[in-house]
Amino acid sequence: MVMISDTFCGELETRLGHHFANSALLNEALTHSSVAEAARPGEDFERLEFLGDRVLGLVVADLLMERFPDDNEGDLSRRLVALVRGEALSKIAKDMDLGRFLILSQGEVDQGGRDHPSILADSLEAVIAALYLDGGL
């Protein structure tokens, strides 16, 4: 598996406000499936993306219920969807320059993968899962 450098890792940890006890989690969260060495399950961010989507949904749903105590389920659901949809996540990832930290194949880099909205959104969900697994809620 390709590993992110300690300097790069430290820079991203500073941006995230979290120092990883298990840096392999962060590395996995940043590794795209296009990387040849990541052909085996668990060596790219797809499984973490799955978990991160659920963690994000839970945390946002909890905050919405607290912030909007009079909203019904339908209103809360609409708010949730707007906040956790791919476009919103991609914008957040772009704002934090997450694409710069991604481990991608050269082919994916050449095709603009560092700025691709779905890759950015998916990798952000993976980073959220890594934060959850390393530090809890």
pLDDT (0 to 100) of residue 125: 98
pLDDT (0 to 100) of residue 81: 96
By annotation, the residues acting in catalysis are 53, 125
pLDDT (0 to 100) of residue 94: 97
Q: Which residues of the chain have pLDDT under 70?
A: 1-7, 36-42
pLDDT (0 to 100) of residue 98: 96
Q: What residue spans define the domains of the chain?
A: 6-135
For 59, the token pair is: 């945390």
Domain 6-135: which CATH class?
mainly alpha
What are the tens digits of pLDDT across the range 109-136?
999 999 999 999 999 999 999 999 999 8
pLDDT (0 to 100) of residue 35: 86
SS3 state at 103: strand
